[in-house]
Amino acid sequence: MPERAEKALGDYNGCLLACLLACLLACLLACLLACLLACLLACLLACLLA
């Protein structure tokens, strides 16, 4: 795998992890499984488009 692709993947994973951690904190307050699913979809989209 070229280095650029590896870096992009690393950035994407970092983005996803940071996004999900922030989401998880919000979901703990809301305490809803639906919140987690919505967050996951939003994070995937945000990180793909970032």
Task: Mark 6-30 as b/e (b = at least 16 C-beta within 10 Å).
Answer: eeeeeeeeebbeebbeebeeebeee
Is residue 27 within 8 A of residue 35, CB to CB? The reply is yes
pLDDT given for residue 2 in this prediction: 62
Is residue 24 within 8 A of residue 36, CB to CB? The reply is yes
Domain ranges of the chain: 3-49
Question: Quick check: pTM over 0.85?
Answer: no
Once rounded to an integer, what is the mean pLDDT over residues 22-49?
83
In this predicted structure, the answer to whether residue 43 has a pLDDT above a threshold of 70 is yes
Is residue 27 within 8 A of residue 18, CB to CB? The reply is no
3-34: per-residue pLDDT in tens? 777 787 788 888 888 888 888 888 887 767 78
